Structure 1
């Protein structure tokens, strides 16, 4: 018995199997005083050795922290320092000279880990801080 199939096979459907890439800095900047009670807040305008120690502690803590600064360069430094603390890299160097190429090339898992530790950056100068960290947007 012959089978007469006049229907054509369906067209393939392209489906993305990967989650959208989370940004290292999208939604990171917050207005001063907006952090929920009970969340650890770190003033990052402290000397680098103290900040490096705080970042090591934060990288191994059960909960993340919110950085507080009005300095754009310091905000960029805390992002770099947080990544360095999580990767076992040189935190003082990351704080003083953020490696933009390295930071913008982070894999999704590293971005997720960073954002789990660095929950936000609180500031009264959102425009300056946002402008400084915008170099990390991909």
Structure 2
């Protein structure tokens, strides 16, 4: 019989370092605000459209594979679209979320729900990044 001693690369076991820390939680707002045209080929929602049109759009896009981009220069409207997107994904009332965004609910979303929202709402495109960012900052706490 031959030598039974394992050699490097031939049956020797090497320790493998595995990270046991939890992955960083993705934010609802980090990287969400972008300049117009930054997400090519994505459907675009005029976030300043009437609530009924936005609700209809979100009801359809929430179950599509494409995701969408919202365009607005109004921070409150951007917040409403984030809330309405979450509502559409959770089966909640989209129009209520547009009219009265629930910041506490949004801040409390679990990581899988945050991923789902960000997988659908790809960006908020605006030329007013400071104004929109100031309002959406409430979701980053």
Structure 2 residue runs without a partner (length 5+)? 1-18
Pairwise CA RMSD: 1.4
Structure-1-length-normalised TM-score:
0.86
Shift of residue 33 of structure 1? 2.4
- CA drift of 1:39 comes to 1.4
Q: Which runs of 4+ in 1 moved over 6 A?
A: none
**In the TM superposition, what is the alpha-carbon distance from 1:42 to its structure 2 partner?**
1.1
Deviations 1:38-87 (A, max 9, x none): 21111111000110111111101111000000111000000000000000
Give the whole-Å Cα distance in 2 for the aligned partners of 1:116 and 1:15: 26
Number of residue pairs matched by the alignment: 124
**Counterpart of 2:38?**
34
Gaps of 5+ in 1: 1-13
2:126 is aligned with 1:123? yes
Offset of residue 22 of structure 1: 0.4
In the alignment, is residue 137 of structure 1 matched against residue 140 of structure 2? yes
* TM-score normalized with structure 2 length: 0.84
